[in-house]
């Protein structure tokens, strides 16, 4: 099987928008790195220096029609960012073994808060005594490199999760549910609409020596209506708003929740959707993404 890898340089302010656009257009995975850290393009004389740019690398199934993708991107980009240069996609065909090597090289251990590290399975944990979450990124979203995931991991790291149950809604790679269990929770559940995510969550749980009975995973329509002490949902603003009544029902009175996957301008709409059930904390922001946390009020059960 072959893959198509695209690479482009982009201004950091537009990197997230391009990442979202490419994922919606079927990319299996996207990574963003500082162009200066990992230069694959020669800087062009007279153009923006590399240190001001983000390098985006994306991966598509080898059957993807990249010409049509470029045309669609050009049309949308012209509409949204009329005054900005069009991203130029450099395309390369990769055999399985090549992209795996590229992919592996791009992941490094990351510290999340004070106790937790996310360590790719092929790297050595820098602090063996820390809480080390061993991760095989695979194709499901959730490696810890994305700000939305990092915001949730840092929040979990700061909680006392002993004897707590945790619902990971939109579990992707299972990273948040697994982190919760490693940080002391005694039970977690994962829910996702993507079969690849459910599979990845279980293989990542096994890699971290977590008994799968402590982290069962479900499609939403098959999930039991559990109530949890802690809810994490890193999805997107639209589904989070639609799911507010359902998610509120699944958090115990006095329980905690963290919502992520929300762009700064969407904060107000998502907050409003959860205010009927939760006392909300001040919003946290990272690279244009925000995290909403709160405590389930006891007085309302609806």
Q: In Å, what is the CA distance from 91 to each residue of 2, 215, 289?
A: 13, 39, 28
Question: Binding to ligand SAM by residue 172, rule CB under 6 A?
Answer: yes
Question: Binding to ligand SAM by residue 157, rule CB under 6 A?
Answer: no
Stretch that binds ligand SAM, among 110-118, 156-164, 169-177, 245-253 (CB under 6 A): 169-177
Among 6, 32, 64, 152, binds ligand SAM (CB under 6 A): 152
Say how far apart CA 103 and CA 179 lie, in whole Å: 22
Torsion angle, CA of 178/184/185/186, rounded to 10 degrees? 100
Q: Assess contact for 130 and 115: CB atoms under 8 A.
A: yes
Question: Binding to ligand SAM by residue 234, rule CB under 6 A?
Answer: yes
Closest approach of ligand SAM to the CB of residue 84, in Å:
25
Instruction: Please state the φ and ψ torsions of residue 180, each to the nearest 5 degrees.
Output: -60, -45
Comparing CB distances to ligand SAM, the nearer of 9 and 29 is 29
| H/E segment holding residue 78 | helix 66-80
Stretch that binds ligand SAM, among 121-129, 167-175, 263-271, 287-295 (CB under 6 A): 167-175
Comparing CB distances to ligand SAM, the nearer of 50 and 262 is 262
Closest approach of ligand SAM to the CB of residue 202, in Å:
14
Indicate the angle between helix axes 147-157 and 175-182, nearest 10 degrees: 20
Number of H helices, E strands in the chain: 8, 15
x/- contact string, 245-284, with ligand SAM (CB under 6 A)?
----------------x-----------------------
Closest approach of ligand SAM to the CB of residue 142, in Å:
3
Q: Which pairing describes strands 228-234 and 165-169: parallel, antiparallel, or unpaired?
A: parallel
Q: Among residues 147, 148, 201, 146, which one has the least CA distance to residue 179?
A: 201
Size of the site for ligand SAM (CB under 6 A): 21
Comparing CB distances to ligand SAM, the nearer of 238 and 254 is 238
Among 28, 64, 197, 267, binds ligand SAM (CB under 6 A): 197
Closest approach of ligand SAM to the CB of residue 119, in Å:
16
Give the N- to C-terminal CA distance of the chain in Å, as an integer.
50
Among 112, 235, 237, 258, binds ligand SAM (CB under 6 A): 235
Stretch that binds ligand SAM, among 56-64, 116-124, 140-148, 262-270 (CB under 6 A): 140-148
Comparing CB distances to ligand SAM, the nearer of 53 and 201 is 201
Q: Assess contact for 175 and 207: CB atoms under 8 A.
A: no
Could you give the 3-state DSSP secondary structure of residue 53? coil
Question: Annotation-wise, does 204 bind a ligand?
Answer: no
Q: In Å, what is the CA distance from 53 to each residue of 6, 48, 84, 264?
A: 16, 8, 13, 21
Say how far apart CA 261 and CA 165 lie, in whole Å: 22
Question: Binding to ligand SAM by residue 142, rule CB under 6 A?
Answer: yes
Comparing CB distances to ligand SAM, the nearer of 174 and 255 is 174
Total residues found in the chain within this entry:
302
Q: Quick count: other Cβ atoms within 10 Å of Cβ 8?
A: 21
- The residues binding ligand SAM (CB under 6 A) are 140-142, 148-149, 152, 170-172, 175-176, 191-194, 197, 220, 234-235, 239, 261
Query: Which residues contribute to the annotated binding site for S-adenosyl-L-methionine?
Result: 149, 170, 192, 234
């Amino acid at each position: 099987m072959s893959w198509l890898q695209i690479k482009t340089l982009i201004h950091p302010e537009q990197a997230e928008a391009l990442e979202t656009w490419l994922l919606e257009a079927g990319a299996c995975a996207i990574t963003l790195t500082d162009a200066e850290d990992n230069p694959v393009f020669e800087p062009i004389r007279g153009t923006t220096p590399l240190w001001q740019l983000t390098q985006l690398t994306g991966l598509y199934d080898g059957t993807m029609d990249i010409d049509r993708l470029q045309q669609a991107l050009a049309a949308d980009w012209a509409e949204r960012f009329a005054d900005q240069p069009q991203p130029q996609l450099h395309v390369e065909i990769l055999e399985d073994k090549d992209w795996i090597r590229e992919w592996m090289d791009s992941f490094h251990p990351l510290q999340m808060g004070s106790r937790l590290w996310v360590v790719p399975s092929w790297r050595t944990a820098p602090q063996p005594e820390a809480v080390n979450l061993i991760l095989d990124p695979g194709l499901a979203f959730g490696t810890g490199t994305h700000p939305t995931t990092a915001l949730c991991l840092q929040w979990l790291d700061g909680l006392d999760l002993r004897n707590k149950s945790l619902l990971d809604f939109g579990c992707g790679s299972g990273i948040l549910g697994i982190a919760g269990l490693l940080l002391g929770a005694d039970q977690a559940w994962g829910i996702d609409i993507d079969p690849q995510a459910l599979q990845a969550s279980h293989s990542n749980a096994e890699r971290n020596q977590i008994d799968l009975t402590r982290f069962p995973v479900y499609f939403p329509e098959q999930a039991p209506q559990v109530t949890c002490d802690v809810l994490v949902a890193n999805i997107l603003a639209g589904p989070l708003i639609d799911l507010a009544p359902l998610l509120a029902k699944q958090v115990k009175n006095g329980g905690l929740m963290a919502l992520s996957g929300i762009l700064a301008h969407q904060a107000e709409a998502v907050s409003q959707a959860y205010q009927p059930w939760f006392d909300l904390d001040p919003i946290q922001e990272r690279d244009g993404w925000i995290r909403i946390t709160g405590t389930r009020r006891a007085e309302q059960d609806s």
